[in-house]
Structure formats: structure tokens, C-alpha cells
Chains A and B, each alone.
Chain A
């Protein structure tokens, strides 16, 4: 009874719906076009957004990090204790991790390979152990990166020969998630003194936010590069921003491709409506004869187009949300992460686009049908 009452209230809708059911397959195909269009726009949008979320998620807090390295082009080979003190002074609350990086030969049970060695005082601040324990004051022993440990088959307690000295493996580090500036996955972490070389090869400064990192970078430049160029600073925030805008461009491109499919769907609606207008020429003539104004015919035809768009759009939007959840589950491992405002906007925009496309496509056939002279239409 509810639909009946609805149709009483909106009689054009009744006529429109009945007309669409007259050629079920054709209407269904036109709707399918809209469904695909909406699905394309929304799910490509969602896909892009999820990918971006995933990448920025794995970039983690690197936007807050600065890597201070010696200005090698100015002949500065390494950073001194004094440089590190200066950096600590201007960095304020930010964490400062001086690192001496070098290459060492490691040997374990006859297997030997050359790997990167990172010397630092408090590896516990930067890394977590998968096995074993990272000591607070790192004076002796060696920490082995996850890949290297896997490759060599070492475990905490094993004896690993680095260079010509043998160290006890204190811990195997947890595999690094995503991107980080200093990644010892396939190397070893040693006490500073154990790494050959002088001074520090880089200082990683971790601020609380991107803005703070930026301010720190300015301060470090002012303090160290005042008279001569001693350090060069790599601001990871720039990269993160660039990656973000690259993703936005990719997303726009994807949605653009999706829009083309909706445009094609619009053409198919145009075709269906045009055929319908031609087939129902006499019937529309009768409507005009019995007192339907041109705008009434226009309304009926546009209602049909709108109905195609709404039904197709709703189905498409439903499928897109489902697809979004699936993509999110596959990429991020959390289906519910897809339920963001930005993603909702993609779905709403795709739905809106579907409605607009349908009505626009219906406009010409509707206009044509409405302006047919009933005398011409009824001439049999």
C-alpha cells in the first residue's frame, strides 16, 4: 500500500516506473551502465585514497625527521662531537641520534658478508628487538637486523665476528615497517666505538611535528652553517608532501577515468530514452491529446531518466562502499579504515554525478517527446 500511496502522490513516477518495466532488459542495462560508472568513480577514488593512506601510514613519522649530514661538497667529512652538541642545543626537546655509519665484514659459521654497520649510543630509542633485549647503555655486543639475522641464521647469544673481533649478539631487531631514514634491516648496529671511522656520519633529529622539524632545521642551519657550510639537512617533510600531492594527482586521474565510464553510461541512457520516446510516440500523443501539457510529458520522461540514475546510483554506491571496505581490508588490513569522510565524499560525488548525467541525458529525448505535435504523433 505504501508504494501505491507514493504513486498517488507522484503519478509521474508511476507512469515512469511502469514505462521502465515495459522494457526490463533495456532499462536494466542502462542502469548497469550507471552502476559501473558510479562504481568506477567511487572505487577508483577509494582505491587511490586507501593507497595514499597506506603509503603515508608506512611513511609514519618521517615527516617529523631531519637528517643532518656533513656538507661533503664543502670538504666536511664527518660531524664532530662539537657539532652534535650544537645540534642538541638548538634542537630543544627533539630527539637527537648521532650515527656513525660504515661498512664491516661479518662472519658467522664460515659464512661471510659485507654489510652496513650503524654505530649509535642508544639503539633502544629508535628500534625494537624481535628477539633478545636491547641494552640501555649500549657498550658491547651487536644487534643484528632482521633480514641479516634471517640470512645468517644468528640468534641472540650467538657469537658473530665483525671485522676481526667477535661480538655476542644481544638482540635481533624487529623488521622495519615501511620507510625510515636509517634502516639496519640488512646490517648490524654496533656501539659507536666499534664502527671504524671518526666523528659521526649523520645525525637524525626527530621532532614532535612537521612544523617543529622545520623550525629545528632553520635553527640548525643558523647555528652550524653561519660562517661556513658545515652540514646539509635533509627534510623528510618535503618528501611526504611531494608524495601526498603525487597521490592526489593520481587520484584525480583515476577518478577522471571513472568519469568517462559514467559519461558512457549517460550516452546509453540517452539512447534508451530516445528509443523509448520514438516507440511511445503515439502514446505520448494520446497523453497530449487528453490534456497533458508539454511540461507534463517532460516531467514523465525526466522522471524515467532520474529513476534509472537513482536506482543505478544507489546500487553503484552500495557496491562501491562494499568494494572500498574490501580494498581497505586488503591494503590496510582494516576494513573499517575505509569509512572516512573523504571516502564518503567520493561515493556521494559519484552518486551525484550519476544523477546529473542521467537527467542531462534524459533532457534531449524528453524535450523531443514533449514537443511532438499530437496530431503528427497520432496520424496512423
Chain B
């Protein structure tokens, strides 16, 4: 239905990966350029007269093209953080900034618009619409725009994630890994600045999980930031930076490391007495790609 000429227009980030992939570090050359930022974010819930503080003052800056993992035990507030970063929820205190704009005071409609423009979601359970084909599922975020180029872009994205031969399959005709790749393609269809992934490898076997992670890496190469909330240590092999949430507090480093330091008593708490400790932890920019700490893992 779409002419081939239509492909090139208006889809720079998606259809021409090679252009940006050649130099992924350019995105990081400007240190204070952040796409998404949490500043002193606190989230409290009222449950049965009790106040539960899910997040206790989170500072986190995400830069374009960065692959960040958020780890932590169950109930540590990972999902809450992801919802706040994804503009699905608003913090009780603190500020969430998207491209320099404070989105905390946004109305539901404005937040929805901002999500559509800037954020792509990948869910653990894929959440594909079972009645739509793969390519239609990818189109979903833009389906209501009646943009004739969306179909072509959806095809391109599916081809990119290796599902060029599964375009018209329904979700029940796809394997878990294929579904997750459709979900990734869907997250990218609106050319987001940030992709937020909730346990993206949680329902996949190891090999498939790695394929998905490689795809995320590729996405990052195009200047799109990826934030993955995960339990899966394999994820850290692909990330630029890992942070760990423990009881609503954020620590720099993957969970294993944070957990070890905790047991050794050497963990420096963020926002504690020492300002140096704070800057060295969560607020730390992603300029430093992970170093030796990962290498020490078996």
C-alpha cells in the first residue's frame, strides 16, 4: 500500500540504523545532556491507613543512547521507578524531567502525549494484542494517526528484529522470543528517545534473551536510551551502567555487587552524610562505561 519512496521520509532513527550506529559515543559527548531525569523522587502509597514509601528520594539521570539496568530484589520499588520514568505515574515528591521539561505537573492528557512522543515500553508479558497480526501490533502506538507510512515503518522494524517472515502472524503463532521482538519493534515505532523495559528477558530462555539484549544494544547505538528493570544478571553484560534498588534507595552497580558490599558493610548510602558518596553513586553520569567491576565476575 505504501510506495517504496515513502520509507525514507520522517523515520530517520528507525530505518537507517547505520548512520548513527557508526558513532554511538557522539550521544555521550555532551555530558549534561539527559533525556530523562529523576530528581529527589519519592513515592508513597497509602495502604489501609499505613503509608508505604516505595521510593525514598531517587536521583537518576539517563542520557541518550545509554543502556541502563535497574536491578534489585522484589518489592524494592523497581516497577514503581519504571512507572515514574515512563510517565505512567507521578511522584509524591521530587521532579521527573523529560528533555529538560518538568513533567510532574502534567495532566493525564499531556503525560499520555509525552509517552507517545518520547517513550517506548517493553513488558515482561509482551502484552501484544492477540487479535492483531505482528505488523499491526507494531503499528498500534501510531494506528490512530492514520499515517500511511506507519505500515512501512512497522515492516522495517520487524525485519530489523529478524521477523520479516512473520509479519502477518498472530501472537499465538509466535514463540516467546518472537513476541518480545515484536514488542521491541512496537516500542520503537514512534521513534522514542527512551525505551523502558520491564523484565525483558524474564519469560525467555537464555539464548533468546541474549538476542533480545543484543537488539537493545543496537537500539542504544541509535541514540535511544534503554532502561531495563531486571532480575537477570545476563542483562548486565550488555548494559552501559547498572543501578540497584534496595528498599527504595538507589545504589550504583549491579545487584550482586551492591548485595556483597551490603553484607561487608562497605556500602555507601546515597544522599547520606557525605556528598561525595552521593555523587559517586546514583547521580553518577553514564560517561564512564562500566569498568573492571564486571570483569571480576566469574
A101 to B190, CA, bound (A): 95
A291 touches B141 (CB 8 A): yes
Given the known interface contacts A289-B88, A291-B113, A380-B124, the answer about A283 and B129 at a Cβ–Cβ threshold of 8 Å is yes
Interface of A is mostly: helix
Q: Is B255 an interface residue (CB 8 A)?
A: no
A286 touches B148 (CB 8 A): no
A-B contact pairs, 25 of them (CB 8 A): A5-B1, A8-B1, A8-B148, A9-B146, A11-B144, A15-B131, A18-B129, A19-B131, A22-B130, A282-B125, A287-B140, A288-B112, A289-B86, A289-B88, A290-B120, A290-B121, A290-B187, A291-B115, A291-B116, A291-B190, A292-B112, A292-B144, A293-B109, A293-B113, A378-B127
A8 touches B116 (CB 8 A): no
Question: Which of the four size classes fits the interface of chain B?
Answer: 20 to 34
Please give the number of chain A residues whose Cβ is less than 8 angstroms from any Cβ of chain B in the complex. Answer: 30
Residue of A nearest to B129 (CB): A283
Complex interface bits, A273-294 against B, C-beta within 8 A gives 1, otherwise 0: 0000000001101111111111
Complex interface bits, B255-286 against A, C-beta within 8 A gives 1, otherwise 0: 00000000000000000000000000000000
A289 touches B124 (CB 8 A): no
Q: Of B109, B123, B130, which contacts A378 at CB under 8 A?
A: B123
| Residues of chain B within 8 A of A380, CB atoms compared | 124-125
Number of A-B contacts (CB under 8 A): 73
A22 to B130, CA, bound (A): 8
Q: Which 4 A-B pairs have the closest CB atoms?
A: A291-B116, A18-B131, A290-B141, A11-B143
| Residues of chain A within 8 A of B141, CB atoms compared | 290-291
Q: Of A11, A19, A375, which contacts B146 at CB under 8 A?
A: A11
| Residues of chain A within 8 A of B99, CB atoms compared | none
Which among B79, B127, B136, B148 has the highest number of chain A CB atoms within 10 Å? B127
B132 touches A15 (CB 8 A): yes
Q: Is A181 an interface residue (CB 8 A)?
A: no
A21 to B121, CA, bound (A): 27
| Closest-CB distance, B74 to chain A (whole angstroms) | 12
B146 touches A290 (CB 8 A): no
Chain A interfacial positions (CB closer than 8 Å to B): 4-5, 8-9, 11-12, 14-15, 18-19, 21-22, 282-283, 285-294, 296, 374-375, 378-380
Q: Is B53 an interface residue (CB 8 A)?
A: no
Sample of 9 more A-B contacts, CB < 8 Å, known A8-B146, A14-B136, A289-B115:
A5-B1, A11-B143, A15-B143, A283-B127, A287-B140, A291-B113, A294-B112, A375-B83, A378-B88
Q: Of A5, A9, A22, A296, which contacts B131 at CB under 8 A?
A: A22
Q: Is B93 an interface residue (CB 8 A)?
A: no
| Closest-CB distance, A143 to chain B (whole angstroms) | 78
Residue of B nearest to A21 (CB): B131
A294 to B107, CA, bound (A): 12
A290 touches B115 (CB 8 A): yes
| Residues of chain A within 8 A of B116, CB atoms compared | 290-291
